[in-house]
Amino acid sequence: MKFAVVVFPGSNCDRDMYHVVKDVLQEDAALVWHETGNLENYDAILLPGGFSYGDYLRSGAVAAASDMMSQVKKQAEQGKPVLGVCNGFQVLLEAGLLPGAMLPNKHLAFMCHQEPLEVTNNQTLFTTGYEQGEVVHFPIAHGEGNYFCDDKTMAALQANNQIVFTYKQNPNGSAGDIAGIVNEQGNVLGMMPHPERASEAILGSDDGIRLFQSLIKNWRDAYAINV
């Protein structure tokens, strides 16, 4: 499976994503610069964490207006898997690929620590390797991870089973304890916690590796690819 790791000015988790895909999972991966990259020949798109364009407006707002995100939208509409983590989630929200918005953390402080999450939907492309209701541990690292949406959107997320991960001990004030959601089609996942930083036991948790493994297995099953 061939992964594109999109790199914006200010991305700082792109190498983490690349390492997990290329070195840990032994899959094909490339760092794709936002100005020159073409996403047509990739099987999945990863939007990493960091501070795209320095977060000088709202987090993810400038990146969301880039030509690269026009490509991401096109590929997502065709059903290609897209994963946005932390700033990548913020970019997906700003680009309208996922509903809602991010606010500053409730205590107005940057938070960086391991966090327990509940898998609330294990039937997505990204989560079939988990048990429904399983508690996993991923690190968070954000100052604006307080997910917000109106009541109508929250009702739709719940009705469509789009809430994928929730915090067990809400650290940032997110509505509905939301840590990660998918689009209605189920091929675009945005989440604030970092699965790529929880993909090797030496890092304190390897719960995140199953997210990538789930995606790879489901993609191969869909295309009847045997390796």
Catalytic residues: 86, 194, 196
**Alpha-carbon distance values, 217 to 41, 126, 135, 213, 225 (Å):** 19, 9, 21, 6, 9
> 3-state SS of 70-131?
HHHHHHHHCCCCEEEECHHHHHHHHCCCCCCEEECCCCCCCEEEEEEEEECCCCCCCCCCCC
Residue type, 113: H
202 CB-near residues (< 8 Å, 6+ apart) = none
CA distance 119 to 187: 17
What is the residue-wise DSSP string for 154-195?
HHHHHHTT-EEEEESS-SS--GGGEEEEE-TTS-EEEESS-G
**Alpha-carbon distance values, 224 to 24, 123, 209, 220 (Å):** 23, 19, 22, 6
**Which of 153, 177, 163, 80 lies closest to 122, judged by CA?**
163
